[in-house]
Each structure stands twice: as structure tokens, then as C-alpha cells.
Structure 1
């Protein structure tokens, strides 16, 4: 068989349609929204709307990676019709689960349950597998077939309902799924300002699909459990793209955006858009995720964005996964606050960590967590240093902020050597202090920070180096655009890749010391 990896078939699963009119509009589109692009981008420094042509994920996958759709002579892979045309391995299939609720293609008598959608996805994967393997041009056997699931919003819950179904009839199709990528999926349900957890009795448009008790049923989880937990599917093989821009979500005249609140994409709260689950050893792992300033849908939506496409293709096709973790060893207090602490007063402090990661040669960021976008990482002093005895507290590494997970593709490198490079803008903001419950604002300037660096990292393929990569890093203020120092790499404890440490030190009051721990693993 010719080497096919990593370009497996892609199945796109669209999001929620509430009304019959929306369902009819959905089924009238061959690609159910995956073909929708945008010519608007909010990136100009003047605040004006810039014209930026993003053709759509569908068109880009076809033009950049030679994918094809499966529509031939007005037919597709639907079960009721014959499809004799050879299905290419690099294909994109649209799961048309709303057809059965359409007045034209179905009975129009209401939307089936998510469990039925999941069963339909199971059947679609098995049909696709047969058609792909029957095409001699592919040279793919049944045990070699794999596919990717790419889903928007409720589509991610349909995928999880399928993947987490314990019925043995699902085993063969489940084993064929290599990765799941979700755009703005409410993995932990939908919350509103006034009503936490969509009521189970709210059946209009099947909105109760986002009620946690209902979710637990179709995700096959015990009632009362965390519904964001993945069951029987590796958490590291699921990517969550999280939107942080509620203002541009115009559904219901902006009412949805107002009802959900600022820390959201206009429909899904940031805290509800991610998954986690046990690895092979039983340790709970967060799924890789990225945060982008995009709304749930629309012209500034998360699906039809360059940031979304770049995260999608790097997660599916990339060859290197890089994680950044900030280990804080010590954080000093202002002299005045330290004095109050020594006098026995109750001192509290909270810290916000901002991070933005970009790749060389591009104008967009893979992920961005920002206070102004309500997506920064928050830690209290007591979380970072839980010990209460003595002035010098020991840090808790479990509380170390996980800053980012990015996937890199040497094939997209702007250098012929295949070297990959990225920059991370790390900021630790000046904290808010309280002394005996009162805010301490002496010498406080809002928006200030106790640490900020733009750090540049480059990984160069080198067969003689540990893990096959030679690592260099540098700082923008010392050598703009070019890493300078060679990193001392070491094997990770589980031998899954290599790591190296970048010292973090800000000798001020307040200030902090620690290390930025970078972990790089082969990705396939």
C-alpha cells in the first residue's frame, strides 16, 4: 500500500439547527456550511474591517491538500442510493444527519434524538470504509482504513455520542476514527447568565440537547458526572478550538451573546468548550486546545477563519506536538505588602497569565489567551503555593499553568531545511492584592505586568540530536526574529519525546522566578 498517512478521509459533522426553516436551509446546502468562507477580518490597527479572503475549510483542503468531495452526477454516499464511482482516499464526506428531519428529504415530523444521529454516523463510517477499500486505486485494506471527524458545535456532541457508545455494534466504526477536531462544541453544556445549565424541559428546537442530565444519557456517563469527560477515546486525539469573541455573534439580534455573557463565543462559554479524560495509565489529561478571538458562527465565526484552518490542518497532518508549561518557583511581593504579611495580616493575591503563539512567516496566531478577551489563565497565590507554614512556600507543580499545545508541520516550513519555528508572547500581569479583605492599590497601574517576553523557539531536524531535533531559542529584544541559544534537551520521563527549560527571572518587587518547560513529541 502506498503511504497514505496523514491524509485520511474527513467526515464533517455540522452544528445545531433549531427551527424547521433552519433545517431546510441546512439540507439545501451540499456541504452544510463547511464551504462557507469569509472576506472579513478584524485585524487592522486602525480598527477598520480588513478585507481578507478565506475561501472556506472545504476549498482550502481541496487546494492545499488535494482532497476531493464524494458528489458524482448528483449522487453521494447515502444509503438509499447506489454509488459505484471509486471513492478516493483523500475525500471529504458531509454527514447529512438533518436530512431525516427535512420536509423534503425526510418526514418533517421532528428532529431525531442525538443517539439516532450517532447511529447514523456509525453507519456512514462503515459505508465509507467499504467504498474506500473497494477502490483498487487506494490500495487500502479494511484494517488500514482510518478517518478523521471534524465537527462544529453540536456536531461534536454527535461525534462523542458515537465514540462513547458502549454497544459492540459500534466497535468497528469507532476503531476506524483516528482523531476528532471540534470547533466551539459545548462539551460541558450551555450556561446562561440567569439560568445555569439549559433546563431539561426546554424542548423547543431540541435545545435540551445541551442540558447536562440529557447529555449524560447520550454520552453514556453516570448521572451527575462531569459531561466533558471522554470515555474510551484518547483525550490527546481530540482537539478543542475555543472561541473568545461574543460580540460578533449576531444570532437572535445579539440576545444569545448577551444571555451567555462575555467569557464565551456568543453561545458557548469558554469554560464549557473543552474535554478531558483518562490516558492509558488512568491519569486525567486535558485535551489539546487553542483559543482564538472568533465568534460561534457568522462572518467572524470560528469555522470560517484562518486560525481555525491552521489549527485544524496542523492537528490532522502535523508531525510535531509542542506543549508549554510555566513552572513558577517564587513570586515576590511588593515591599509594603510583604511588610503587612509579616505583621500577621491576611494577604491574598491573584495572577493572570497571558499567552499568544504564532508561527514564522504568518500574520495570524495559533492560540491567544488575553485578559481583555476573558481567556487569560488565572491562578491565586494559594493555588501556586499551597503550603502555609513559613515565609518560603513550596510550589505546587500541579498548579503550573499549561500555556499552550501547538502542532507543527515541517512540510509547511518557510525554510528548505524543514526547521519549524514559533514565537510565544508570555505576560504575567501585575496582580491584585487584598490585605485583610481590602484592595491594595499603592503604586498600582492597571495593565502593568511583572514579566513579559517574546520568546522565539526553532526546532531543526537533526538525526544526531536527541529525539531527532536540535533546539534553539532566543528573545525578541536581544536578537529580533532569530533564536540564538542552543537548548539543553532531555528525554521526557515517559520517553515520549524531548524537553528543555527556558529560565524565567524578573528581579523586581513584585517579580517572579521559574522556568518555561517546553515538551516536544512526535505527532502522527
Structure 2
């Protein structure tokens, strides 16, 4: 069955911002966009994106059931009779608005998280759905995590019993966040003084993005009346290992600070280039959770939420039936032990039939894969995770010549390895060619899911080895890859050696390992 989707919006700021937010029946999630940066002259082009809500309605057949008031509609409808394929909005700012003829109440994140849990329970009860999916922008992701990490364990705790940190799995299926400051909001200038001033003055409640307040609303308490002290090594972005599984979390990370024009663009200047204009890249995801990087801003006409990139990642995470994990194995960079050369790997993921890049980590966007960064326990043989994405086998495009659905799901991974000499924090350019890749190739992968007695199969080839255009390549032109996980139900795993140009730098054994896993249906 389709699970209900609950949207949770981000930070609205002061009174005027809150009033503007509540005036919209869907808190802004119904807003689309008509700008996209494409074209060889780099000027903005017209591209009409309807909004994530409308796309869910038209493509996934979801329903908006407001009828004057979503709360009133739910209250008057008998339990189990509300359609589960429905979209809801957590309107937590309504009580803080001045437009409803009532005295505005101060916004408190903890109350928004507790109210969200009540709303989740009501939606589950009225629809009969076992769980809900949560979709959140910016601060909304922190409200969701507060509910998941603190309040569900506290509010469902049996009398005199222990806290169950993973209790949210009984209520929430998946969490998708757009530009959420999971690690807080930090500034690229001021040596920490700006953060301290923000948390002390608390303008418009902005202290919620500082570590002390985050520890408050993200940490469950044995005794709710006892606050507790924040440990020095506590990381707000990290979710408890024995809590809600991070495999159920997807973080969309924006890498475009230039088009975030809030406060005349001052935010992006203060936060820094390695951000979406408000949230720094390193703070925008939960460690070990699924994530994708897209060149979008925190909000606005080039924002994450009202973008095709955001929607396609959301749709496949919620409804895709395949999980694809890509890793680089057995790489040994020549001379890496004592060399001053820094190696950076750019990755771009495209899926056949989509007009956008699903994932993009590049040096120009300040987020390449640093292939030499290792944890203390890592060795040169430790796999380098490149990306995880989700595919929907039902979304295969139809062949323009035959009209039939393509037999395989095709995606392409571009790898571009660049290097630069650095010593003592200073770049050396005497042997450097700017933006010239040492290795540049595209791996084209076709995956055919299992059907009846036929097992899953996959084909892969490097673009440099194709005789013509990629669109003309047919999987049958080469034998399928060997399945290294044939004895593991629901899992396919294959290895693709890098071409000679890549192995010359990354080692003779450098290999791309693809792991494709089946996913249970929503609510399953």
C-alpha cells in the first residue's frame, strides 16, 4: 500500500515570515519553478516544474484532502476510511501567526516535534497505514529528528521501563530532507563569535541551530525534567546507532550558494562558498545516511524543494524498488604515501529518461570525493563509497522506435579524476593544468531485474570503449557481468575494472563495484 506523506516546512523567521507561511495552505510545498540554468550560453532558461506535490498527485496518484481544514477532515472521518495515498502538511506555525485573531504563541521546536507525533498517530489511525513517510525542508528535518530521536522514545516509554531509542520505526517508514542543517548552521567567518552571538541573542529563535539547543531537542531523557550537559564530542548530525536506522534516511545536499538571495545575498557570503547559501555542505547530511549532491540553493527560484533534481531523488527514494551502491575498490594512487599531490574524484550520475543530473560532486562545486581521506582504521584496500541511488524498474522509458518499454534500467556514472600539488596549505602550479582531468570516462550500466525464473543480469561498458553514441549501445552487444552475490537472495553484485587510463593512476586492480539490492514495497 502507498503510505501517507507528511511535509514539514523550514524556518520562517520572525512574525511577518510566519504570517506569510501560514497564508499558504500548503506552507510553500505547492510552489514550483520556471528557471533552470541550462544552455550553452549559461543563461537561465525556462523550465516549468510544477511542484513536488503536484507531481506526486499526477505521477503517484496521491491525494490532497484538505476540505477546509485537514485536521477537521481527519477528525470527522471514521478511523481507517481516509485514503492512505494522501499528502498532509504539519502546520506547526499556525499558533504563532497573528492573522487568525488570536494572541500569537511563541514558536518552540520541541512543541512542534510533539505535535508532529500526535499528527502522525492521527494520520496512521485514520488511514490504517502502518507508518508514514516524512518529507522535510531545512529546519523541518530537525523537527522530524526531534520527534524520532527524543519524543517518540520518551512518549512511548512503558511505565518504569527503559527508553527504546528505535521506537520511531513503528511510526515512520522513511525520512527525506532537503537542505536540513543536521550539523547545525555555522559561519565561515568570525572564528565562532557569530555563532555565539546568535545563540545568545536568539533573534527570531535562531538559537535552535546551535549545538546546545540541538542537544536539548535531539537527545531523549530518562527524566524529561532533567536537561543534562552536552558532551564535548557530541555530533548533532549523527543519529544514535541503536535508534532509527539511518538506512531509512535520505539527505539532499545543495551545493549552489550563489542563487540564495535571502538578505541581499549576505547569508551565502557569511556561510561560505561550500554551502547551499545557508547550510554548509558538511552539515547538510546525517553520517552514513543516503545522500545526493545537486547544484541547487537552499530555497528560492533555484531552490532544492522546487526542483526536478529534488523531486526525482525524492520519488525514487520513496517508491524505487532497487537500491544501487557504487564503490571504488583496490585503488592505490601512485606515490600517495609521500607525495604532495591531492587527488580529487568528481562523480556525476544520470538516469536514462530524466532531464537532470541526479547526483553531482565536482571541484567547481566544492565537494569532490577526496579519495585519499581515510579513517584511522582504513587502508588503501578500504572501499571508497562513491554514491548510493535508487531506481524504479517501472519507470523505464519506451523505445521511440518500437514503442515497447526498455528491457533494462540504464544509468551512467561519470568519473573525472583531477590532481593538484599542495604543500603546507599552498598550491603549486608549475606542473598544473587547471580543470584538466588525469582520467575522465563514463561507465554505462544496464540492469535487468529478475523476472520469473530469469535471474537479474547487468551489463556495463566504459564510454571510451564504445564505437559510437551511447544511445546506440545495446546490452546484448557484450556478455553480462558475473554476479558475485548469486547466493545472496535479492542482491546482485558485479565488478567493472577501470579502463587502462584509470588503472595507470589508481592501480592495476582499481575496480568499480556495483551492488544492486531489491527493496520491499512501501509499507511492506
TM-score by length of 2: 0.85
1:373-420 Cα shifts (integer Å, max 9, x gaps): 11111243x749999xxxxxx6140xx431111100011111525521
Of 188-197 and 101-110, more deviation after overlay is shown by 101-110
Contact 1:325 1:401 in 2 (8 A): yes
Matches within 5 A, 1:112-191: 112-133=107-128, 145-165=130-150, 166-169=153-156, 175-191=170-186
Q: Structure 2 CA distance, aligned partners of 1:372 and 1:98? A: 38
- 1:103 paired with 2:98, answer yes
Shift of 1:145: 1.9
Of 86-95 and 254-263, more deviation after overlay is shown by 86-95
1:355-389 Cα shifts (integer Å, max 9, x gaps): 00000122211100010011111243x749999xx
Shift of 1:493: 9.8
Q: Structure 2 CA distance, aligned partners of 1:308 and 1:146? A: 23
Shift of 1:45: 1.5
1:280-337 Cα shifts (integer Å, max 9, x gaps): xxxxxx101000000000000000000000000000000000011112432225xxxx
What SS does the aligned partner of 2:460 have? strand
Bigger proportion of residues as strand: 1
Q: Structure 2 CA distance, aligned partners of 1:437 and 1:219? A: 36
In the alignment, which residue of structure 2 is the partner of 1:522? 518
In the alignment, which residue of structure 2 is the partner of 1:298? 300
Matches within 5 A, 1:25-424: 25-72=20-67, 74-77=68-71, 82-83=76-77, 86-105=81-100, 107-133=102-128, 145-165=130-150, 166-169=153-156, 175-195=170-190, 196=192, 198-199=195-196, 200-220=199-219, 223-224=231-232, 225-231=234-240, 232-276=243-287, 286-333=288-335, 347-380=339-372, 383=374, 395-397=380-382, 400-415=383-398, 416=405, 419-424=408-413
Report the CA distance shift for 1:441/1:204 in structure 2 as closer, same or farther (over 3 A).
Answer: closer
What SS does the aligned partner of 1:307 have? helix
Q: Structure 2 CA distance, aligned partners of 1:428 and 1:374? A: 14
Shift of 1:36: 0.3
Q: Structure 1 CA distance, aligned partners of 2:518 and 2:503? A: 40
Q: 5+ unaligned residues in a row in structure 1: which ranges?
A: 134-143, 277-285, 388-393
Report the CA distance shift for 1:507/1:123 in structure 2 as closer, same or farther (over 3 A).
Answer: closer
Q: 5+ unaligned residues in a row in structure 2: which ranges?
A: 158-163, 221-229, 399-404
Q: Structure 2 CA distance, aligned partners of 1:437 and 1:39? A: 42
Contact 1:149 1:177 in 2 (8 A): yes
Q: CA RMSD in A?
A: 2.8
Contact 2:296 2:303 in 1 (8 A): yes
Report the CA distance shift for 1:324/1:174 in structure 2 as closer, same or farther (over 3 A).
Answer: closer
Report the CA distance shift for 1:508/1:12 in structure 2 as closer, same or farther (over 3 A).
Answer: closer
